[in-house]
Structure 1
Amino acid sequence: MELTDEMIALAIQRGAEARNRNPVATSVRYDRRIGRVVIALSSGLELAFSPHLAQGLEAAKPSDLQEIEISPSGLGVHFPKLDADLYLPALLEGLLGSANWAASKMGAKGGKAKTPAKVAAARANGAKGGRPRKNVPAAA
């Protein structure tokens, strides 16, 4: 497919409309006092979150968070010392990482849960000699 001047102009127009429709980051900083990354938006709102809740920032030290950059589009935030990036539209939707990352966090949280049903199952398995083995067909 060959790009025409008309197609390029239309793409530029759609990009400008998208920028006007959605807020962009105007400044970003790590506030040591409250332990939060604070992103100021073009809409006048501020978004603040604990870095330990975001993918790529989980193990970040305060010194790692002192240098933060905004992407040229204003839709991304980059942490050079960690080589980590966050996408502003996803942050505004409450997503602090990829779907796989979120699933692993939820799985880890579920594995740590101590419900009466889980305790009873563990005791029953222990009385039988441990967790039941999986029925795996023998290789031929």
Structure 2
Amino acid sequence: MAELTDAQIDAAMERGKIAHLNEPRATKARYNKKLGRMVVNLANGCTFTFPPHLAQGLETATDEQLAQVEILGAGYGLHWEALDADLSVPGLLAGLFGTKAYMARQAGRATSAAKAAAARQNGAKGGRPPKSAQG
């Protein structure tokens, strides 16, 4: 493996400083029981809130468990020891509340008036038609 040069190390350190200044990092996190929301204060002065039932690992957590949130590292993660749950702050801000598989399952659970109407219409016709064999 090639050795890193001083210039490469210096460049990596500079990228780290820039990322530290610009990437979203949590400075404070708490559960607001009255609102039923996790509240995350960011280093840039913004505040982000989300309903914990959306997040993988927090779906069935009690108020007491949610209140035990810790900030990881330099503020890039949130951790709940009792729940063995970790969430990425940049991920949460991007609308990612869990793994790819978890998010796909959540998307399949979405309901809407149109989806309910289509289900009723299919039910009135005897349900979903059987899949035909392609040969």
TM-score exceeds 0.5: yes
- What is the identity percentage for the equivalent residue pairs of Structure 1 and Structure 2? 39
Match of 2:61, SS state, is coil
TM value normalised by structure 2? 0.83
Match of 1:114, SS state, is helix
Is the aligned partner of 1:3 residue 2:3? yes
| Cα deviation, residue 72, structure 1 | 1.4
Relative contact order: is structure 1 or structure 2 higher (C-alpha 8 Å, sep ≥ 6)?
2
4+ long deviations beyond 3 Å: 110-113, 131-137
Letter in 1 for 2:122: A
* Cα deviation code 1:80-118 (max 9, x no counterpart): 111111111122222222332222112122599411x32
Q: Which moved more, 1:19-28 or 1:92-101?
A: 92-101
Which residue number corresponds to residue 75 of structure 1?
76
Q: 1:1-140 alignment to 2 at 5 Å?
A: 1-4=1-4, 5-110=6-111, 113-115=115-117, 117-125=118-126, 132-135=129-132
| Cα deviation, residue 29, structure 1 | 1.0
Where do 5+ consecutive residues of structure 2 fail to align? none
Total equivalences in the alignment = 132
| Cα deviation, residue 61, structure 1 | 0.7
Where do 5+ consecutive residues of structure 1 fail to align? none
Whole-angstrom distance in 2 between the partners of 1:78 and 1:48: 16
Cα distance, 1:92–1:111 mapped onto 2, change above 3 Å: closer
TM value normalised by structure 1? 0.80
